[in-house]
Homo-oligomer: A and B are copies of this chain.
Amino acid sequence: MSDKPIRRIGIIGTGVIGASWTALYLAKGLKVVATDVAPNAEAALRKFVEKAWPALERLGLSPGASQSNLWFTPALAQAVANADLIQENGPERIDFKQKLYGELDQMLSPDVIVASSSSGLTMSEIQKGAASHPERCVIAHPFNPPHLIPLVEIVGGAKTSEETIRRAAEFYTSIGQKTVRLNKEMPGHVANRLQGALAREVYYLVAEGVVSAADVDTALSWGPGLRWGIMGNMMLNHLGGGPGGIEHFFQQFTGPMTAWWKTLGSPVLSPEVQKKLIDSVHAEVGSRTIADLEAERDEVLLGLLELRKKAQQAAAPHTVAAE
């Protein structure tokens, strides 16, 4: 494999994830050729990108960034020709993906990375479809929507090469995303597992009538959640230990924490439980529209991303300046 620069991205599948990737890549000054078989896919994609553009401008466009660097074709072979990296966002069905990876295996030069956004399938299974070059196939799972949320989870399958993982991590880092490396394939990777672990207890407490949806949301978003967009759990534990750091944290909190673990809930999402949760959410939402709430969420999110960027520059001015 070469280390040739990644300048042109082939996007397969332009649903919510593929469209958001497209917007991000264009904002980073890359060229994008997208493909999708759905009727009206091109118009929907261009509309998504246009709508996302003001936020991307606010976060900072790279030199050469332009919506006019987007091409669309319904023909797969045309979309992937001359691409340096493929971002694949096809349906989450193993038979579909294996067939697709077989076709890509024939079409692409061996130094082209095939990165899958799959959240539910493993690369070890998917790459079985790629007879000649499974080594260049890797999971690069975003957290939706990737044009706003920087996380990319990178994990190879049994036949993925270390070089592919390294090149993929370097590429996503170079455009400002934050990559994590999974050393083992795990259902849900990392972020969805963390989200699932938290949601399970949230649903339990609402289902049991301990708190309303509004109150559990207050507890999270005005409590521990305030810090989880600033630092991760492990670093916060280190600070939670005071001058004694993480060692003191475990000395002090292992007892109560493991006692609480024993009482965490395992709710079953039966239709009745779902109805209770849904009713409680509607009581919380009241007359506010989804569009209003989305706008509020994204406005604060953009502000938080700006704060994080500033904090990083303050902490390591030379590193960030050199990026």
Contacts and interface: CB of A to CB of B under 8 A. Distances in A.
Interface of A: 16, 119-120, 143, 149-151, 153, 178-184, 186-188, 190-202, 205-206, 208-211, 213-239, 242-243, 245-247, 250, 254, 256-261, 263-264, 266, 269, 274, 277-278, 280-282, 284-285, 288, 290, 292-294, 296-297, 299-301, 303-305, 307-308, 311, 314-315
A231 B221 contact: yes
A141 to B, nearest CB: 10
Contact of A254 (B120, B269, B292): B269
Contacts of A214: 234
A216 B16 CA distance: 25
B256 A199 contact: no
Contact of A198 (B120, B210, B233, B301): B233
**How often does this chain occur in the complex, in copies?**
2
A224 B195 contact: yes
Contacts of A199: 233, 237, 257
A293 B201 CA distance: 29
In the complex, the 7 A-B pairs of residues with the closest C-beta atoms, listed nearest first: A217-B232, A225-B228, A151-B223, A180-B215, A197-B201, A178-B222, A213-B234
Given A190-B211, A199-B233, A211-B180, A243 B304 contact: no
B198 A211 contact: no
B210 A184 contact: yes
Nearest to A266: B261
Contact of A307 (B258, B263, B300): B300
A191 to B, nearest CB: 4
A284 B209 CA distance: 40
Contact of A281 (B202, B238, B294): B238
Given A226-B305, A260-B196, A218 B151 contact: yes
Given A197-B201, A220-B228, A293 B191 contact: no
Given A285-B238, A299-B311, A184 B196 contact: no
B269 A149 contact: no
16 contacts: A119-B256, A143-B223, A149-B223, A151-B223, A183-B211, A184-B210, A187-B259, A188-B260, A193-B263, A197-B264, A198-B198, A218-B232, A235-B281, A238-B281, A296-B314, A300-B311
Given A151-B218, A186-B210, A237-B281, A224 B194 contact: yes
Nearest to A303: B307
